Structure 1
Amino acid sequence: MGYIQVMTTVPSSTEGTVLAHSISSQRLAAGVQIIGPIRSLYWWQGSLRDEQEWQLVIKTTRALFAALEAHIKANHSYETPEIIATEITVGSEEYLAWISAETRKIDAL
């Protein structure tokens, strides 16, 4: 089974909490960390933005990426949310087993 860490950013702590809770309660991830506030500088619609955001770091399996991506897009306030996945190439056996066990419970919902 492949494991990934997915990142997205949101404009507020409240939106981050709501999104993290919906992702977790639907078992699209074993866990979500909310980091922030962070300062983000990025280009959007022809201008350089300098904004405060919160970053969500989502631990899940590669098999759930499409469902997680769809969920983020459907529940995010940004027109084009950041959705970036990084492979977890190495991790402790126990931690990876935990990700597997907690995301597998989606079938029980």
Structure 2
Amino acid sequence: MSSLLVFTSLPDAASAQTLAETLVEQRLAACVSILAPARSVYRWSGRIEAAVEIPLLIKTQAARYAALEAAILSLHPYELPEIVAVPVELGLPAYLAWVDAETEPIPAPC
């Protein structure tokens, strides 16, 4: 399988924690690193804006990206959230195997 690092940013620690826990609980992410607050500067509706945001670094497999994106969109408070996925070219094989195993969907009971 191929792994991805997916980036998004949330407006506060509480929403970052909620999103991180939900993604791991739903097996859409093996791990979500909640990073230190960062100041973002961007253009929005024709104006330069600045905001403190909480970046998330999400580890998942490429096959789960569509479901991950849908989950982020449904839970994210922003009108247009940053969701950027970067393919993992190299990594510790055992770690990448763990990412794959932790993001495999659980089959529904019969």
Moved over 6 A (4+): none
Q: Which residue number corresponds to residue 61 of structure 2? A: 61
Q: Cα deviations across residues 36-59 of structure 1 (Å, max 9, x unaligned)?
A: 211100111111111100001000
Structure 1 residue 108 displacement after superposition: 4.5
Q: Which runs of 5+ in 2 are unaligned?
A: none
Q: Percent identity?
A: 43
Q: Which runs of 5+ in 1 are unaligned?
A: none
- Aligned residue pairs: how many? 108
Structure 2 SS opposite 1:107: coil
- What RMSD, in angstroms, separates the aligned Cα atoms of the two structures? 1.0
Structure 1 residue 26 displacement after superposition: 0.3
1:107 aligns with 2:90: no
TM-score by length of 1: 0.95
Q: Which residue number corresponds to residue 46 of structure 2? A: 46
Structure 1 residue 107 displacement after superposition: 1.5
Structure 1 SS opposite 2:81: coil
Cα distance in 2 for residues equivalent to 1:100 and 1:61:
6
TM-score by length of 2: 0.95
Cα distance in 2 for residues equivalent to 1:36 and 1:42:
19
Q: Which residue number corresponds to residue 91 of structure 1? A: 91
More helix, by proportion: 1
Cα distance in 2 for residues equivalent to 1:64 and 1:94:
19
